[in-house]
């Protein structure tokens, strides 16, 4: 196997890395040059003079890759359906932000996150100010409404160190611990961030800087694959429905703590202290165009068009569908200063509260667009021919 020609950091450590190789060629040249196995080319093209063989260019359909300009860096897919990782700490988000082609790199990063659901970066030096800049630019480059900014969480407090558009994710309390109980099933923690907002989130960026020696993994699940695994009849049924999302847990927490609910929260439409919104049960992702399941255990309380008992049963089924299908999940074991960027339009996630000691990180959540369902949109499997 010849070494990939364009990647100075290529180390062949992960078996999946080589999958990016044809795409890298495609990204750079516009065509795909098949030079990986010249012996096969020799037998297929035996009428061609052997002196020409090293220069054979075969036009073949390259497999789809959402990496774009990021294909120059080593990366691998954590699972077939969700999760991509940049394993080398030489890939720093802080440097992508300063690169001469930063707009191209960040737009491609946003596209990659939208396709793969969650993307992991190793040992990052990015500070909170730059994390906020990244959060703002990712969605802007994808063309979201100009009124959509960073989310201000209803119960985030402004401190001398951090503005209210940064959420501290801490084992000691606050946003990540509201409603937490260690005497219920771990899978009750599955949620999608802030779906109680009329204009909910596109991206979230979490950097973990304090970790227990072991434990505290985070899991993500794919909303695209959750849709795709359902039968056509069930898909059709869900496509006609809408659901009420409710963040009343935060309202109660604010009351108990004597806090005011912050508003507006990253969009002129995210106002009021009720923290409720109605969204389609299946939404179309505005970047990929794929259909995705958009109800979650944490915030979705009621399917509007159904009787209460029907709604309870359906939501319980969909929760099991997400939490019990581990073929649509990825589990990430954090190391200090790792960063995860996920798309809140097409994923679910949950923390794992199995550790002792401190665990802390900073999270930035950006506001995207109002969810919609386009009946002409395709599922991910249909669009990619999977």
The residue among 22 and 266 lying less far from ligand AKG, judged by its C-beta, is 266
Active site residue 331: no
* Structural contact between residues 171 and 323, judged by C-beta atoms closer than 8 angstroms: no
245, 349, 359, 380: the catalytic one is 349
Q: 204: alpha, beta or left, given left = phi > 0 and alpha = psi -120 to 50? A: beta
Q: Least separation, in Å, of the C-beta of 194 and ligand AKG?
A: 9
Segment holding 22, helix H or strand E: helix 20-29
Binding-site size, ligand AKG (CB under 6 A): 9
Active site residue 326: no
Of the candidate spans 97-105, 185-193, 210-218, 274-282, the one that interacts with Fe ion by CB under 5 A turns out to be: 185-193
The residue among 193 and 228 lying less far from Fe ion, judged by its C-beta, is 193
The residue among 67 and 211 lying less far from Fe ion, judged by its C-beta, is 211
| E strands present in the chain | 76-77, 84-86, 118-121, 167-170, 201-210, 218-222, 242-246, 276-280, 282-284, 291-293, 300-303, 329-332, 339-343, 347-351, 360-367
Q: Least separation, in Å, of the C-beta of 169 and ligand AKG?
A: 5
Give the separation between CA 191 and CA 173, rounded to whole angstroms. Answer: 18
> What residue spans of 142-218 are helical by DSSP H?
none
Q: Least separation, in Å, of the C-beta of 200 and ligand AKG?
A: 13
Q: Least separation, in Å, of the C-beta of 188 and Fe ion?
A: 13
Of the candidate spans 24-32, 34-42, 157-165, 187-195, the one that interacts with Fe ion by CB under 5 A turns out to be: 187-195
The residue among 96 and 176 lying less far from ligand AKG, judged by its C-beta, is 176
165 is a site residue for ligand AKG (CB under 6 A): no
Q: Which of 363, 377, 379, 380 binds ligand AKG (CB under 6 A)?
A: 363
202 is a site residue for ligand AKG (CB under 6 A): no
Give the separation between CA 339 and CA 274, rounded to whole angstroms. Answer: 32
Active site residue 153: no
What are the Cα distances from residue 187, in Å, to 48, 216, 230, 356? 60, 14, 20, 19
What residue 218 binds from Fe ion, ligand AKG, none (CB within 5 to 8 A, per partner kind)? ligand AKG
343 is a site residue for Fe ion (CB under 5 A): no
* Structural contact between residues 299 and 197, judged by C-beta atoms closer than 8 angstroms: no
169 is a site residue for ligand AKG (CB under 6 A): yes
* Structural contact between residues 332 and 218, judged by C-beta atoms closer than 8 angstroms: yes
CA-closest candidate to residue 246, choices 278, 269, 201, 223: 278
Q: Which residues does residue 210 pair with via DSSP β-bridges, in sequence order?
A: 360
Q: Which of 74, 78, 133, 193 binds Fe ion (CB under 5 A)?
A: 193
176 is a site residue for ligand AKG (CB under 6 A): yes
Active site residue 12: no
Residues 339-358, interacting with ligand AKG (CB under 6 A) = 349, 351
191, 297, 345, 359: the catalytic one is 191
Give the separation between CA 41 and CA 83, rounded to whole angstroms. Answer: 34
Q: What length is written for the chain?
A: 386
Reduced to 3 states, what is the DSSP secondary structure of residue 203?
strand
Interface residues with ligand AKG (CB under 6 A) are 169, 176, 193, 204, 206, 218, 349, 351, 363
Interface residues with Fe ion (CB under 5 A) are 193
Residues with catalytic roles = 191, 193, 349, 363
């Amino acid at each position: 196997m010849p070494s990939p020609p364009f990647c100075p950091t290529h180390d062949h450590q992960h078996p999946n890395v080589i999958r990016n190789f044809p795409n890298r060629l495609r990204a750079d040249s516009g065509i795909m040059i098949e030079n990986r196995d010249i012996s096969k080319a020799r037998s297929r093209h035996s009428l061609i003079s052997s002196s020409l063989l090293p220069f054979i260019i075969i036009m073949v359909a390259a497999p789809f890759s959402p990496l774009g300009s990021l294909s120059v860096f080593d990366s691998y897919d954590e699972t077939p359906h969700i999760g991509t990782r940049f394993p080398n700490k030489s890939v720093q988000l802080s440097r992508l932000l300063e690169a001469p082609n930063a707009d191209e790199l960040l737009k491609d990063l946003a596209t990659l996150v939208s396709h793969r659901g969650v993307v992991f970066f190793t040992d990052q030096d990015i500070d909170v100010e730059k994390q906020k800049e990244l959060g703002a630019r990712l969605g802007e480059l994808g063309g979201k409404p100009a009124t959509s900014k960073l989310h201000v969480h209803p119960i985030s407090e402004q401190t001398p160190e951090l503005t209210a558009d940064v959420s501290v994710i801490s084992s000691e309390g606050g946003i990540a611990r509201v409603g937490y109980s260690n005497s219920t099933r771990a899978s009750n923690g599955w949620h999608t961030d802030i779906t109680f907002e009329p204009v909910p989130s596109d991206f979230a960026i979490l950097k973990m800087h304090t970790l227990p020696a072991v434990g505290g993994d985070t899991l993500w699940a794919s909303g695209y694959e959750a849709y795709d695994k359902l039968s056509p009849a069930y898909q059709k049924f869900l496509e006609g429905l809408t659901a009420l999302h409710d963040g009343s847990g935060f309202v109660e927490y604010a009351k108990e703590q004597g806090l005011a609910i912050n508003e507006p929260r990253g969009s002129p439409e995210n106002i009021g202290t009720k923290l409720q919104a109605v969204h389609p049960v299946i939404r179309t992702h505005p970047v990929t165009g794929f259909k995705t399941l958009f109800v979650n255990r944490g915030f979705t309380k009621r399917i509007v068009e159904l009787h209460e008992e029907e709604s309870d049963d359906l939501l319980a089924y969909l929760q099991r569908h997400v939490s019990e299908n581990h073929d649509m999940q990825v589990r990430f074991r954090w190391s200090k200063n790792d960063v995860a960027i996920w798309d809140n339009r097409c994923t679910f996630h949950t923390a794992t509260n199995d550790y002792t000691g401190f665990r802390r990180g900073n999270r930035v959540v950006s506001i995207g667009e109002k969810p919609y369902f386009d009946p002409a949109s395709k599922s991910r499997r249909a669009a990619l021919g999977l």
